[in-house]
Structure 1
Amino acid sequence: MKKPGPLFLLIICGFFIHQNIQAQRKMMTPEFLKKGDTVGILATARKIEMATLQPGIKLLESWGLHVVIGKTIGKEDHQLAGPDWIRATDFQEMLDNPSIKAIWAAKGGYGTVRIIDRIDFSNFKKKPKWVVGFSDMTVLHSHINNMGIETMHALMAMNVKTATPEAIESLRKALFGEKLEYKMADHPYNKNGKASGEIVGGNLSVLYSILGSKSEVDYKGKILFIEDLDEYLYHIDRMMMNLKRNGYFDGLKAVLIGGMTEMNDNDIPWGKDALQIIQDILKDYKIPVIFNFPAGHIKDNRAMIFGKTVSVDVNESGSKVTFE
């Protein structure tokens, strides 16, 4: 029998080294907040007025925190909160300001991807702080995850007025380092099982848009969370098929499906709703799947720490997700 050549051995060694690095990777946890700390609020994407942020500011102050308002609040460049350079500069200054312990997104929409490559994360890597938000902030969650640093997927400042008490309390717990655990009723599309792994993900459309870029996350061995808003149903199918055909689901430990909110259809119906589309595409994977996880573009948008190891338990009586 012919001995394997040096190139083959090199490839095999590289594979196992990669697998070992992934298994041993230790994520950095930014310092949790305490009373007296300062939170910066800014806009990395869509424009927003100061008045809209008042409930969020008052909430942070009620927790004993100080608030700094970014230069992007009240700025306007068509849909965006100022030109790219202003949004990038605002984020950079808060990132480098040692007195600011967390950066809270005021609003999502679209535009964060336009500034991500302008940001210098050198100081942030040395002493990370919490980056908080969801939706378009998925760009930052994914980009920062590749640095080995945890981030916080949670409601944004503009959402406080309409958020459920449970969502608000989960944000407080996450910011101050208290335990996060969520229990959910059974769903007919759930797939039973247990799993443990690092949680990643966010908005499906944003995850889809950064595939192939340096902000893309390695999904192997991870637990994937996805949610979306205001998409056509065939778009959901197209994005899920892309992930499937490119093998992104192959190495997952589990999948959590959050809000699939305000979906659109064509004059000729697609024939399935968003959850049915996702259920059909994931049906052949031997991993636990939870539907209607309480996160996303919904009022009950519970906080999660991306990059944290979580345990998932799904059975006939319901499901539970526990953050280490």
Structure 2
Amino acid sequence: MKIPPYLKKGDTVAIVCTARKFMPEDAIPAKELLESWGLKIKLGATIGLDSCQLGGTDTERAADFQNMMDDDNIKAIWCSRGGYGTVRIIDMLDFTKFKKHPKWIMGFSDVTVLHSHANVERIATLHSIMPFTVPKAPEEVKETLRKALFGEHIEYKVPTVSYNVKGKATGEIVGGNLSILYSLLGSKSSLDMKDKILYIEDLDEYLYHVDRMMQNMKRNGYFDNVKGLIVGGMTDMHDNEIPFGQNAVQIITAIASQYNIPIAFDFPAGHMKDNRTLVLGSQVDFEVNDKEVKLIFKN
């Protein structure tokens, strides 16, 4: 696994659109945050573009991201917001130079496409808040991103919940948005799950669809060699008029508990204010006990 160079004061971070549109004025809070850390900002050509839901056409978004990947002066690329659209450009990108000279890709939700593809290319990324979510992010959450970018030690200890499954594991943490991971199955961006600790989260899904995604991932052998499971926010779930009969925790537990692995629910990452940064591709120590969940990043 290649860990991109950590940032130092004076480095430049690019802000781009890979999915939903994002206006220059909306980038001001993120710009101020980066400047408070001693960093410079470059707004991509897609910031301010409007192509229905998207921040520019597929060609425009791919070209902007490619330019930032290949620009030696850019040390990190921050995706402005999620939504939908990143999968439309992933096969238009050339990672040749990026693999030789990696830099941090940052974001969550639809950015899971980039996290997964970068992991296949064996490059670490940051599952983190985005410029769109900066205004509502607590200071301690912003601080987790700063620590990750500057290479400071990160570890999380959070209270356990009664429906966790106890255990310990060490492995490489991967994952992101459940719906995106499901949509990537069978593609060249699909993760190799052997000896991995999987992190998942989701937003605004019907419970039966959560079950469908978990069942399909199980049938694809997704959980056969996983060493642990971390479940972040399963936020704003929906049910049908005739109830499905299980909530998100019960759906996930019914499948994941078959594999004799530690499982932590309600972890503070995902579509929530307490969206702490995860260094995807990093080796971690993961423990679930009676009192707390511990996640310690080792590189």
Distance in 2, Cα, partners of 1:106 & 1:248: 30
CA distance in 2, matches of 1:260, 1:52: 26
Query: What is the rounded CA distance, in whole Å, between the counterparts of 1:49 and 1:36 in structure 2?
Result: 25
Residue in structure 1 matching 2:237, options 256, 263, 288: 263
Cα-to-partner distance string for 1:106-145 (whole Å, 9 max, x where unaligned): 0001100000011111111111000001111111111011
**TM-score normalised according to structure 1 size:** 0.91
Query: Residue 216 of structure 1: SS of its match in structure 2?
Result: coil
Q: Indicate whether 1:201 and 2:171 are aligned.
A: no
1:66 is aligned, of 24, 33, 40, to: 40
| Cα distance per residue 1:230-273 (max 9 Å; x no partner) | 11111001001111122211100000000001111111111222
Shift in Å, 1:219: 0.4
The unaligned stretches of length 5 or more in structure 2 are none
Percent identity for Structure 1 against Structure 2:
58
Which piece of structure 1 moves more, 216-225 or 268-277?
A: 268-277
1:211 Cα deviation from its structure 2 partner: 0.3
Aligned to 1:141: 115
1:247 corresponds in structure 2 to 221
Distance of 1:117 and 1:95 partners within structure 2: 14
Residue 214 of structure 1 is aligned with which of 188, 208, 230? Answer: 188
CA distance in 2 between counterparts of 1:105 and 1:57 reads: 13
Q: Which residue of 1 aligns with 2:201?
A: 227
Q: Amino acid of the residue matched to residue 78 of structure 1? A: C
Output the aligned Cα RMSD. 0.8
- Counterparts of 1:189 and 1:264 in 2: how far apart (Å)? 21
Distance across 2 between alignment mates of 1:283 and 1:74: 46
Pair 1:52-2:49 in alignment: no
Q: Which residue of 2 aligns with 1:122?
A: 96
Specify the alignment match of 1:23 in structure 2.
Answer: none
Q: Which residue is equivalent to 1:306? A: 280
1:99 to partner: Cα distance: 0.4
- Helix, strand or coil: the match of 2:114? helix
Secondary structure of residue in 1 paired with 2:258: coil
C-alpha displacement at 1:274, in angstroms?
Answer: 1.2
**What CA deviation, in whole Å up to 9, does each residue of 1:74-107 have, x standing for no partner?**
1011111111000000000000000000000100
| 1:41 equivalent in structure 2 | 15
Paired letter, 1:142: S
Distance, in Å, in 2 between the alignment partners of 1:284 and 1:304 is: 26
| Structure 1 runs of 4+ with >6 Å offset | none
Q: Aligned residue pairs: how many?
A: 298
The alignment's TM-score, normalised by the length of structure 2, stands at 0.98
Residue in structure 2 matched with residue 90 of structure 1 by the alignment: 64
Listed one character per residue, the Cα deviations across residues 15-51 of structure 1 (whole Å, up to 9, x for unaligned) are xxxxxxxxxxxx1110000100000000100111112
**Which deviations, in whole Å up to 9, do the C-alpha atoms of 1:252-297 show, x marking residues without a partner?**
0000000001111111111222122112222222110111111000
- Which position in structure 2 is the counterpart of 1:169? 143
Point out the more displaced range, 262-271 or 203-212. 262-271
1:123-173 Cα shifts (integer Å, max 9, x gaps): 111110000011111111110111111111101111110012221110010
1:75 corresponds, among 29, 49, 54, to: 49
Higher Rg of the two aligned structures:
1
Distance 2:122 2:55 in 1: 29
Whether 2:157 is the aligned partner of 1:183: answer: yes
